[in-house]
């Protein structure tokens, strides 16, 4: 069989698949509706400020190293990851703060300020989620079909992965102080779900944060898709930018991509577009009753001077975080007092802004547009004011006076720019019934030689799992060649 592969979408998953397959000798072409690579991992450049618009954390660096090693490349020739000495600072509404450090002993001292003698509890907590990580990690490079549930050797996983418990319950088992529990489970929001609903095995995100540490790629997060694009081009991958795929069909044993410029036939197709969008719009199928992640409202601020009292990563928790999460995930209400995240990468990487200036990327979780049916413009001004006021109160600086450049990104923009169903920023929610065996697999069950890579497929969302999905797809194609 010919080795022609077409990839729909030049997000991180599509770029990673393209690099792997081209390295293996396949003839690869990538079709992307936008004028450049990266998908949601994009960049805005304005007056010397460089705003990464997508992921902001580098966790699990070994997953990034794996793809370069797979392609017989040295990651140091393309990317430079630097560890953060201070991982993040959490601002509580009563004025308390909690700082998590690279140095575990300093983190324990912070925890003990909030709950005396919690250092030993922390060690036990890390030990438990570490055991979950050791069981889950090998599965991140595996593709499961529902028929695999019939395999008795996998049945013990249900007990080992503690599927009957939530992310929150694992933390609550060890700590009485709710501030600490929130600090050890907030990562759930970065995969678009509530820690009260997310299965306990997703606590591996907390494990890699606290044990493997957090990194930043010098030059910004957009250096990651740029590096993958460069590798792909070195292996001869052809990129068709500004060429949106409108439909995927089959003819004479080939898969046909229909674009505005014509049709392209390929022996195999890998879809890196939003999974729900691909099913509905490209394959013209009826969507299953998926559960979707939340959306986000984003502010990108270029500041005239440095923002005092902030670390590289910062989190602000609302007074009633449980209510906040219920409003977003259950009620479809934009919270009046939101929790939010502030990314100030210039703390680590001054090259991202003009000398003496700062960047503040503010992410506010809001309902997806399936749940929220009102007009976002009717709540935007109040939402922005609450967030700006909270930052002003925490820093003692008038943030409005510091703003030199401002860009905003709305839930609707995830649909308009990235074709994300309902503007659900993180794709399909990471519920139990949308994890592992129950999450869409990386191969199509109806059409032979059609594959999927990305956040809404196995193994899940976040850059490391998306990169793992590219390995799964490449291995599936190799085995079926």
What are the extents of the domains in the chain?
Answer: 4-47+56-81+219-287+434-480
Looking at domain 4-47+56-81+219-287+434-480, what is its CATH homologous superfamily? FAD/NAD(P)-binding domain (3.50.50.60)
State both tokens at 354.
């003009």
Greatest Cα pair distance, the chain, in angstroms, is 70
Q: Which of 9, 141, 20, 7 is nearest to 73 (CA)?
A: 20
- Record the pTM: 0.96
Counting beta carbons within 10 angstroms of the beta carbon of residue 133, is it exposed (0 to 12), middle (13 to 18) or buried (19 or more)?
buried
The H or E element that residue 352 is part of is none
CA distance 208 to 129: 10
CA distance 72 to 25: 13
Reading the chain (481 residues) residue by residue, the pLDDT tens digits are: 468 999 999 999 999 999 999 999 999 999 999 999 999 999 999 999 999 999 999 999 999 999 999 999 999 999 999 999 999 999 999 999 999 999 999 999 999 999 999 999 999 999 999 999 999 999 999 998 877 777 776 666 666 777 788 999 999 999 999 999 999 999 998 888 899 989 999 999 999 999 999 999 999 999 999 999 999 999 999 999 999 999 999 987 899 999 989 999 999 999 999 999 999 999 999 999 999 999 999 999 999 999 999 999 999 999 999 999 999 999 999 999 999 999 999 999 999 999 999 999 999 999 999 999 888 889 999 999 999 999 999 999 999 999 999 999 999 999 999 999 999 999 999 998 999 889 999 999 999 999 999 999 999 999 999 999 999 999 999 998 7
Identify the residue whose tokens are 């060649």: 481
Q: Confirm if 388 and 400 have CB atoms less than 8 A apart.
A: yes
Q: Confirm if 301 and 406 have CB atoms less than 8 A apart.
A: yes
CA distance 206 to 182: 11
Beta-strand runs (E) in 262-402 = 262-266, 268-271, 295-303, 313-316, 340-343, 358-366
CA distance 133 to 172: 18
């Amino acid at each position: 069989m010919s080795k022609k592969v077409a990839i729909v979408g030049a997000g991180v998953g599509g770029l990673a698949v393209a690099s792997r397959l081209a390295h293996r000798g396949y003839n690869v072409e990538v079709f992307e509706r936008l004028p450049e690579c990266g998908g949601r991992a994009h960049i805005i450049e304005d007056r010397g400020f460089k705003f990464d618009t997508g992921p902001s954390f580098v966790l699990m660096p070994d997953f990034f190293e794996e793809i370069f090693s797979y392609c017989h490349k040295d990651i140091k020739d393309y990317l430079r990851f630097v560890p953060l000495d201070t991982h993040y600072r959490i601002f509580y509404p009563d004025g308390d703060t909690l700082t998590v450090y690279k140095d575990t002993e300093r983190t324990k001292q912070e925890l003990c300020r909030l709950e005396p003698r919690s250092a030993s509890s922390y060690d036990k907590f890390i030990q438990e989620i570490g055991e979950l990580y050791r069981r889950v990690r090998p599965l991140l490079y595996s593709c499961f079909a529902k028929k695999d549930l019939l395999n008795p050797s996998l049945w013990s996983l249900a007990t080992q992965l503690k599927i009957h418990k939530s992310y929150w319950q694992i933390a609550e088992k060890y700590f009485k102080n709710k501030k600490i529990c929130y600090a050890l489970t907030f990562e759930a929001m970065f995969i678009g779900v509530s820690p009260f609903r997310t299965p306990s095995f997703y606590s591996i995100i907390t494990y890699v944060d606290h044990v493997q540490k957090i990194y930043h790629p010098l030059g910004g997060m957009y250096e990651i898709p740029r590096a993958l694009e460069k590798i792909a081009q070195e292996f001869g991958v052809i990129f068709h930018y500004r060429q949106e795929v409108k439909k995927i069909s089959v003819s004479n044993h080939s898969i046909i991509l229909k674009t505005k410029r014509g049709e392209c036939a390929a022996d195999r197709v890998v879809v890196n577009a939003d999974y729900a969008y691909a099913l509905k719009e490209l394959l013209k199928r009826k969507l299953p009753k998926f559960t979707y992640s939340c959306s986000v409202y984003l502010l990108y601020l270029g500041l005239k001077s440095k923002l005092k009292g902030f670390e590289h990563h910062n989190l602000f928790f609302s007074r009633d975080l449980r209510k906040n999460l219920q409003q977003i995930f259950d009620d479809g209400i934009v919270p009046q007092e939101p929790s939010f995240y502030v990314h100030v990468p210039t703390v680590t990487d001054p090259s991202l802004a003009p000398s003496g200036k700062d960047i503040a990327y503010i992410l506010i979780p809001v309902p997806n547009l399936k749940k929220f049916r009102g007009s976002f413009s009717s709540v935007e001004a109040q939402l922005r004011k609450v967030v700006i006021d909270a930052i002003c109160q925490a820093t003692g600086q008038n943030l409005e006076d510091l703003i030199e450049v401002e860009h905003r990104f709305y839930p609707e923009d995830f649909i308009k720019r990235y074709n994300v169903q309902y503007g659900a920023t993180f794709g399909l929610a990471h519920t139990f019934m949308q994890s592992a065996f129950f999450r869409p697999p990386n191969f199509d069950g109806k059409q032979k030689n059609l594959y999927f890579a990305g956040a809404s497929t196995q193994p899940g969302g976040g850059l490391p799992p998306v990169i793992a999905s590219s390995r799964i797809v490449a291995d599936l194609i190799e085995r079926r060649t």
